[in-house]
Amino acid sequence: MKEFLDEILYSEEDIDKKVRELGAQITKDYKDKDLLVVGILKGAVSFMSDLIKRIDLPLTVDYMDVTSYEGVNTSGQVKILKDLDNSIEGKDVLIVEDIIDTGTTLNYIKNLFENRLANSVTIATLLNKPKRRKIDVYVKYIGYDIEDLFVIGYGLDYNEIGRNLPYIGTLKKEIYS
């Protein structure tokens, strides 16, 4: 798999350390709340699975699958492929995402959850590309801010390849350009 990569950005050890830090912070912030952690399929699966192990609180989990695409006259439309299994009314929802790029997906999901009367809706992302943002969405927990590079590994894919890498690396430019 290394032949797909230019360089490794974050090793397994880096990611483990970062996930523990985020988990400790979330544990403090959600004491005495009714925490529901929602993972966004498929990219967030690795991060979600490690992060919930580092949150030392009673919590429930659910998953949602969405896809976003560019419309002819729109910057991004979002379609739900799999909705949540349970009601989120009154819950303190923490959305877990692999990477935030334009912000289209998270902005849509956050608004949807607020309309469903969640008590609070907060976002945790492992990676963030601030320079690519088109829609301003507040992200409380960020693992790493990265440059405008295409990355794979630890859940993130390029055409569905790369999700199983235990680390995160930059995809070789000649593969996607």
Torsion sign (Cα): 157, 161, 166, 167: negative
CB of 93 to ligand IMP, least distance (A): 17
As annotated, the active-site residues are: 101
Do 40 and 64 form a contact (C-beta atoms < 8 A)? yes
The rounded Cα 75 to chain-centroid distance in angstroms is: 20
Q: Is 103 in the site for Mg ion (CB under 5 A)?
A: no
Do 65 and 82 form a contact (C-beta atoms < 8 A)? yes
Contact with ligand IMP (CB under 6 A): which of 5, 19, 48, 105? Answer: 105
Which of 43, 103 has the CB closer to Mg ion?
A: 43
Q: Is 144 in the site for ligand IMP (CB under 6 A)?
A: no
Chain residue at closest Cβ approach to Mg ion = 43
CB of 43 to ligand IMP, least distance (A): 5
- What separation in angstroms does the CA of 128 have from each of 51, 60, 103, 125? 17, 25, 10, 7
Instruction: Name the binder of 104 from ligand IMP, Mg ion, none, CB < 5-8 A by kind.
Output: ligand IMP
Q: Is 4 in the site for ligand IMP (CB under 6 A)?
A: no
Do 61 and 38 form a contact (C-beta atoms < 8 A)? yes
Contact with ligand IMP (CB under 6 A): which of 5, 94, 151, 165? Answer: 151
Instruction: Name the binder of 68 from Mg ion, ligand IMP, none, CB < 5-8 A by kind.
Output: ligand IMP
With CB under 5 A as the contact rule, which of the stretches 1-9, 42-50, 121-129, 135-143 interacts with Mg ion? 42-50
Residue 153 main-chain phi, psi, to 5 deg: 110, 160
Q: At what angle do helices 45-53 and 12-29 cross, to 10 degrees?
A: 60
Contact with Mg ion (CB under 5 A): which of 43, 103, 143, 155? Answer: 43
CB of 44 to Mg ion, least distance (A): 7
Q: Please, which residues have CB within 8 angstroms of residue 6's CB and are 6 or more apart in sequence?
A: 169, 170, 171, 172, 173
For binding to ligand IMP (CB under 6 A), which residues are involved? Answer: 43, 68, 97-105, 150-152, 156-157
